[in-house]
Amino acid sequence: MTTPLKEKHRAVWASGDYAAVAADIIPELGALLVEAAGVQAGQEVLDVAAGTGNAAIPATLAGARVTASDLTPSLLEIGSKLAAERGAELDWVEADAEDLPFDTGRFDTVLSCVGVMFAPFHQTAADELVRVCRPGGTIALLSWTPAGFIGHLFGTMKPYAAPPPPGAQPPPLWGDEAHVRALLGDRVTAVEARTATVRVEAFAAASAFREYFKHNYGPTLAVYRSLADDRDRTAALDLALDELAARFRAPDGSMEWEYLLLTARRSGAPTGA
């Protein structure tokens, strides 16, 4: 059932140009996650909150049978075109990360690259990741950290944004290893986690970051739209984002955005073992 909250989230991610963000800022992260997950030819793989296929397409090119799921149909349409351009054939399914329409234990590997972290109810989403992964299968997640740039971005926008629904948790918590371990609990074993950074060189100035995200990144665009009639608060957010970007910029103008990459094995004997 589609709820007003889900419609709002769908609209946020349909706004702007997330395909450009994925291609311009983080093109390598999906392939990196696929490699860390050990995706192999013939495996059944699910990419949750797949967006335009940043992980799903590399998984397909590795020879897996891939299903890319996302709440936002327009992103799936773009992803399907991108996949066709690269000769990748996979299934694209509109689906809520908190209520996946797949059989229990269907997939050998369940992935999410800066995707499931934006589902508002973390435990519900984590329960679904575990449910659809077969015993002995792999769950692999890449998420922005609270201490990294995107974590600070959401912290900077929070005072200007509408309050979240009761019970919702901040997206960057998925970048906290202890939080994710608690979400998955004893239903997984062999947890491996590491933090790393992606180097971003797309912005010639701090203001260039602000303008790019203001017009292309759904969550930032949504906050600005909510301030459309308040010039003072809009200007204050402009300044706050410029100051944030300036703090994270190196002398050469590059930025390092931190993420957590976590892999785990679904508890239970592997099917067929």
Any idea what the CATH number is for the domain that residue 67 is in?
3.40.50.150
The answer to whether the CB of 260 falls within 8 A of the CB of 142 is: yes
Distance CA 62, CA 263 (A): 18
The answer to whether the CB of 73 falls within 8 A of the CB of 102 is: no
Distance CA 226, CA 236 (A): 14
Using DSSP bridges, classify how beta strands 65-70 and 107-113 pair: parallel, antiparallel or unpaired. unpaired
214 within some domain: no
Q: Which two tokens stand for residue 72?
A: 């936002």
Backbone angles phi, psi at 151, to 5 degrees: -60, -45
Distance CA 93, CA 273 (A): 30
- CA 217 distance to own-chain centroid: 12
Q: Which domain holds residue 182?
A: 4-201+256-266
Per-residue b/e over 58-75, b at no fewer than 16 CB within 10 Å?
A: bbbbbebbbbbbbbbeeb
Domains of the chain: total: 1
State residue 96's pLDDT score.
98
Contacts 24+ apart (CB under 8 A), 248-253: 248/149, 248/152, 249/203, 249/206, 253/201, 253/203, 253/204, 253/205
Interior CA angle at 128 toward 218 and 18, to 5°? 15
176 within some domain: yes
Which residues does residue 264 pair with via DSSP β-bridges, in sequence order? 139
Distance CA 251, CA 233 (A): 30
State residue 271's pLDDT score.
57
State residue 273's pLDDT score.
42
Contacts of 151 (CB under 8 A, 6+ apart): 144, 145, 172, 175, 258
Q: What totals of helices (H) and strands (E) does the chain contain, helices first?
A: 11, 7
21 within some domain: yes
Distance CA 178, CA 20 (A): 32
220 within some domain: no
18 within some domain: yes
State residue 116's pLDDT score.
98
236 within some domain: no
228 within some domain: no
Render each residue's pLDDT in the chain as its tens digit; 273 residues.
Answer: 579 999 999 999 999 999 999 999 999 999 999 999 999 999 999 999 999 999 999 999 999 999 999 999 999 999 999 999 999 999 999 999 999 999 999 999 999 999 999 999 999 999 999 999 999 999 999 999 999 999 999 999 999 999 999 999 999 999 999 999 999 999 999 999 999 999 999 999 999 999 999 999 999 999 999 999 999 999 999 999 999 999 999 999 999 999 999 999 999 877 554
47 within some domain: yes
Distance CA 70, CA 49 (A): 4
Using DSSP bridges, classify how beta strands 188-200 and 255-266 pair: parallel, antiparallel or unpaired. antiparallel
Distance CA 265, CA 133 (A): 9
State residue 1's pLDDT score.
57
Closest CA to 53 of 105, 14, 92: 92
Task: Report yes or no on whether pTM surpasses 0.85.
Answer: yes
